Chain A
Amino acid sequence: MKEVKQKSILIMEDDQSLLDAIEHQFTMSGFNVFAAKDVEEGLSKIEAVGTVDIIWLDHYLLGKKNGLDFVIRMKNHEEWKNIPIFVVSNSSGSQNIQSYMRLGVTQYYTKADYDLGQIISDINYTLENEVGEENNKDK
């Protein structure tokens, strides 16, 4: 029997009530959940566990730095640059969207337009494909 490694997710979200809902749902889906409200906290959380499988990122965060700053830090990090990032934000403005896409995030969602379940299933889909690729590589 293959051991299914538990997937880990870092959730970067500044609104507490939303963060609670998201954390709850991901835990229910079998994820190991880490949460942070600002860029520095997020980075140190990843540091603490070494790496995470996926990141949920909101654009507006606590403090001066926003989601874009976080992505830049991640993409410049030797070990973490390939961690898929899902930007889930209620801020509009395609300037931001374009910037995120250019930086190489996996997907961008306008939060209010999606059910939480939809986003989670997309995330699972991404991870499965990645894992599949990894498995193929091993062979």
Chain B
Amino acid sequence: MMNDKQKEKYVFLLVKHPLYGRVLSWSVLIIFIIFLIISIYAVHDAFGVMITILFTGIALFIITVVFLLLYAFIEKLTKKTQNAEDIIDLLKESKERYALAVSGASEGLWDFNLKTDKAYFSEFWKSLLGYTDEDIIDTVDFWRDNIHKDDKEGVQQSFKNYIEKQTPYYSAEYRIKTKSGTYKWFFDKGRAIWDENNKAVRIAGSSRDISNIKKVEEVLKSKTEELENARQKIENEVNNTRKFKQAVESSSDAISIMTPAGSIIYANPAWEKLSGYSYENVRGGQFADWYEKDTDPDIIKDMWATLKLGKPFTSDDLIGRRKDGTTYQVEISLFPILRNGKRIFYTAIQQDITKRKEIDKAKTEFVSLASHQLRTPLSAVRWYAEMLLSGDAGNLDDKQNKYLSEIYSANKRMIELVGSLLNVSRIDLGTFGINPKETDLRKLFDSTLSELEPLIKERGITIKKEYPEKMPNVFIDPLLIRNVFQNLIGNSIKYTPEGGEVEINLKEEDTFIRFSVSDTGYGIPEYQQDKIFTKLFRADNVREHDTSGTGLGLYIVKAIMEKSGGKIWFESPVKGRENEENKGTIFYGIIPIKAGVQKSGLELVGAQHINNMKE
């Protein structure tokens, strides 16, 4: 039997289908009319009734036959129609599918006639370039003209390769101009149709808009380049870091890194050696723990305060304690490492200076002891001569007085010489250090002048002073600079004939104070001026007048001035005295107002009170 679908078709054919319905209806009508005519003519006798029945029978027979025929062929008919319908449907479907596929794959279609140079471009193809279907684009030339000039040759080559059958199909990547003038990247694929002469007559294919892909490609390319550069950089950095790490690991200085809170996060092998602790014990420990027990607490305080301000801290007074209890002294340099202004950790570099300090201490002790041993007999001579001269052992006659005075002054010179030699030995041994304090240079000059008062009076020297009203204090060691002033003024007084003049000048100049001590004295001969600051040197002209100088004073003065961050020099003759017999000398000195002088060490000691009570 027929299935539902076929039943449907059957009904359709019978009733709805125009052709078959018409045939059927007309045949029924004709038969009915014939029946009617015959019945009109033949219905009044029995023969007529027979004819009527006969024709009715024939009519029914014909109708039945028709139905049977229809029934027989319905399947075929419905099938054929169905096939045709199906085919139309399928065709429609496939067309839709194809259109979908093509548009979904973002491919436009093109078809070139290589003989006529005419071309077909699908709606989608045109739309890719911003053209509507109304825009007439139908020549191969259009396509050629719109290819980017840099890509034309490549496309031609791809074309050629395919036509010459070097490639299985035609493909090319190129830029093509859109309606708006910008360029898009197309990827074409196509196949040709050949004629009997194996010549390509027609070529058709699809174009895909790969602009986005190309963009991605570009980005990928540049990102890959970036990555490669970054990788190179990282490799270089790693190598550099390795170098630094190696340098730090093999350094003989103890190097450690700490968090801002003072917790040690790294210590190199030299640190382990210095402290006597292994790295495991060191790591995570508090840096200050190693030093707090034995170091001056003021220094520890100073250390933390300086670090809090983000400044570097240096000291050679830190004393650490080893695991075995022995102590060691270090010269330490602590500094913060900043990132974006924030302290991220501290680095400490330490040098074991225990030995050095011991040697320094030994040197100091030596000088101190030598000083004591040399000076003790000198003190005895001085005081006993003093007692004799004051009549302690009885009155003296003139000769006795004279001889004793000679002994007394010779002894004093000896004392002075020993003092200078001790200072020179400290300079040479390098155990000469500075203790700077804020000092008013005017007061220092005045105090020196008052000390030299007896000598000034004795030689009848006039002292002139030129001090500024306002002057900043300088940060210098007052004992040492006093020594300088004593020397310079003392020299001026000694080497100026009686009644002469000594002038002292002080002036503030920018970042330093300039002073000068000038006299109307014998001056310094030009041919000997280069030796003035050397040890034990005395110029010929002063040796004539006075044999008592040590020749060490200016050597010491120069050392002090330079250690204090200043400078000393002189001029002789003094300007305006070139034609005088006593050409005079002027010594200039500059002292920086903000001195960055070393802190620890030992001092040169001048011969004076520390606090002069009588002031």
- Chain A interface (Cβ < 8 Å from any Cβ of B): 15, 17-18, 21-22, 24-25, 28, 59-60, 89-98, 101, 107-113, 115-117, 122, 125-126
Contact A18 B368 (CB under 8 A): no
Give 1 or 0 for each of B364-398: 1 = CB within 8 Å of chain A CB. 10011101101110111011101100101000000
Q: Assess A108 versus B610: contact at CB under 8 Å? Given A15-B380, A93-B368, A94-B602.
A: yes
| A92 contacts B371, C-beta separation under 8 Å | yes
Q: Is B607 an interface residue (CB 8 A)?
A: yes
Chain B contacts for A89, CB-based, 8 A: 372
Contact B435 A110 (CB under 8 A): no
CB of A130 to closest CB in B, whole Å? 12
A28 partner residues in chain B, CB cutoff 8 A:
392
Q: Answer yes or no: B603 CB below 8 A from chain A CBs.
A: yes
Which residues of chain A are near B387, meaning CB under 8 Å? 21, 24-25, 116
Map CB proximity to A onto B385-416 as digits: 1 under 8 Å, 0 otherwise.
01100101000000000000000000000010
* Cross-chain pairs A/B with CB under 8 angstroms, 25 sampled: A15-B380, A17-B384, A22-B383, A24-B387, A24-B392, A28-B392, A89-B372, A91-B371, A91-B372, A92-B372, A93-B364, A93-B367, A93-B368, A93-B371, A94-B479, A97-B610, A107-B611, A108-B610, A109-B609, A110-B419, A111-B376, A112-B375, A113-B419, A115-B386, A116-B386
Pick the residue among A22, A98, A117, A122 that contacts B390 (CB under 8 A): A117
Shortest Cβ distance from residue A124 to the other chain B in the assembled complex, whole angstroms: 12
**What is the minimal beta-carbon distance from A121 to any residue of chain B, in angstroms?**
10
CB distance from A115 to the nearest CB of B (A): 5
Question: 1/0 per position for B331-375, CB-CB distance to A under 8 A?
Answer: 000000000000000000000000000000000100111011011
* Inter-chain contact B378/A112, CB cutoff 8 Å: yes
Whole-angstrom distance between the alpha carbons of A50 and B422 in the complex?
Answer: 41
A136 CB, min distance to chain B CBs, angstroms? 19
The 4 closest A-B pairs by CB, nearest first: A94-B603, A90-B375, A113-B607, A93-B368
Residues of B within 8 A of A113 (CB): 415, 419, 607-608
Per-residue A-contact encoding for B596-614, CB less than 8 Å = 1, 0 else: 0000001101011111011
Nearest CB on A from B194, distance (A): 111
Asked if B172 is an interface residue, CB under 8 A from chain A, the answer is no
A126: chain B residues at CB < 8 Å are 613
- Which residues of A are found within 8 Å of B367, using beta-carbon distances? 92-93
B602: A residues at CB distance < 8 A? 93-95
- How far, in angstroms, from A66 to B419 measured CA to CA in the complex? 22
Contacts of B605 in A (CB 8 A): 92-94, 97, 110
Contact B376 A15 (CB under 8 A): yes
Residues of B within 8 A of A24 (CB): 387, 392
In whole angstroms, how far apart are the Cα atoms of A110 and B610 in the complex? 10
Given A95, A107, A116, which contacts B613 in the complex, CB threshold below 8 Å? A107
Point out the residues of chain B lying under 8 angstroms from A90, CB to CB.
371-372, 374-376, 379
Roughly how many angstroms separate A87 CA and B89 CA in the complex, as a whole number? 129
Residues of B near A115 (CB, < 8 A) are 382-383, 386
* Chain A nearest Cβ from B362, distance in angstroms: 12
- Complex CA–CA separation, A115 to B613 (angstroms): 17
Nearest B residue (CB) for A93:
B368
**For residue B607, which residues in chain A have a CB less than 8 angstroms away from its CB?**
110, 112-113
Q: How far is the CA of A17 from the CA of B377 in the complex (A)?
A: 9
Closest to B423 in A: A92
Contact assessment for A91 and B603 in the assembled complex, using a CB-CB cutoff below 8 Å: no
A93 to chain B, nearest CB (A): 4
Query: Is B43 in contact with chain A by the CB < 8 A criterion?
Result: no
- Would B611 and A96 count as touching, CB distance under 8 A? no
- CB <8 Å contact, B380 and A125: no
- Nearest Cβ on chain B to A67's Cβ, whole angstroms: 12
Contact indicator B372/A18 (Cβ below 8 Å):
no
A-B contact count (CB 8 A): 95
Taking chain B's interface residues, is the majority helix, strand, or loop, or is none over half, making it mixed? Answer: helix
Of chain B, the residue at the smallest CB distance from A126 is B613
The reply on B203 being an interface residue by CB < 8 A is no
Complex Cα distance, B605 from A97, in Å, reads 9
Expressed in whole angstroms, the Cα–Cα distance for A125 and B613 within the complex equals 9
Cα A89 to Cα B376 with chains together (Å):
9
**Given contact pairs A94-B435, A94-B479, A117-B386, A112 touches B609 in the complex (Cβ within 8 A):** no
Bitwise interface map of B from 39 to 78 toward A, beta carbon under 8 Å scored 1, else 0:
0000000000000000000000000000000000000000
Residues from chain B with Cβ under 8 Å of A59 in the complex: 372
Residues of A within 8 A of B435 (CB): 94, 98
Please tell me which one of the listed residues A18, A91, A93, A101 contacts residue B610 in the complex, with CB atoms under 8 A apart: A101
Determine whether the beta carbon of A92 is less than 8 Å from that of B368: yes
* Chain A contacts for B371, CB-based, 8 A: 90-93
A97 to B603, CA, bound (A): 10
With contacts A94-B435, A101-B610 taken as known, whether A60 is within 8 angstroms of B372 at the C-beta atoms is: yes
Closest Cβ neighbor of B373 among chain A residues: A90
Please give, as numbers and ranges, the residues of chain B lying within 8 Å of A15 by CB-CB distance. Answer: 376, 380
Is the pair B610, A107 in contact by a Cβ cutoff of 8 Å?
Answer: yes
With contact pairs A96-B368, A112-B375 given, residues A107 and B609 touching in the complex (Cβ less than 8 Å): yes
Contact between chains at A122 and B419 (CB < 8 Å)? no
Q: State whether A112 touches B379 (Cβ < 8 A).
A: yes
Other than the known A17-B380, A90-B371, A94-B602, what 4 A-B pairs have Cβ atoms closer than 8 Å? Answer: A91-B368, A97-B605, A113-B419, A126-B613
Asked if B418 is an interface residue, CB under 8 A from chain A, the answer is yes
Decide: B382 and A112 in contact? CB cutoff 8 A: yes
* Least CB distance, A16 to chain B, in whole angstroms: 10
Most chain B beta-carbon contacts within 10 A, residue among A18, A24, A97, A112: A112
Residues in A neighbouring B614, C-beta threshold 8 A: 125
**How far does the Cβ of A46 sit from chain B's closest Cβ, in whole Å?**
24
Interface contact A111-B368, CB-CB below 8 Å: no
* Cβ of B612 to closest chain A Cβ, rounded Å: 9
Q: How far is the CB of B608 from chain A (nearest CB, A)?
A: 8
- For A101, what are the chain B residues with a Cβ–Cβ distance below 8 Å? 610
| B601 → chain A closest CB, angstroms | 9
A136 to B88, CA, bound (A): 139
Interchain CA distance A117-B408 in the complex, whole Å: 14
Contact among A96, A111, A117, A122 with B379 in the assembled complex (CB-CB below 8 Å): A111
C-alpha spacing A122/B611, complex, angstroms: 12
Verify A111–B610 contact, CB threshold 8 A: no
Residues of B within 8 A of A91 (CB): 368-369, 371-372
Asked if residues B386 and A92 are in contact (CB atoms below 8 Å), the reply is no
Nearest CB to that of B611 among chain A residues? A107
Q: Which of B380, B386, B392 contacts A18 (CB 8 A)?
A: B380
State A101–B364 Cα separation when bound (angstroms). 19
Task: Please measure, in the bound complex, the distance between the C-alpha atom of A2 and the C-alpha atom of B231, giving whole angstroms.
Answer: 99
Closest chain B residue to A92, Cβ basis: B371
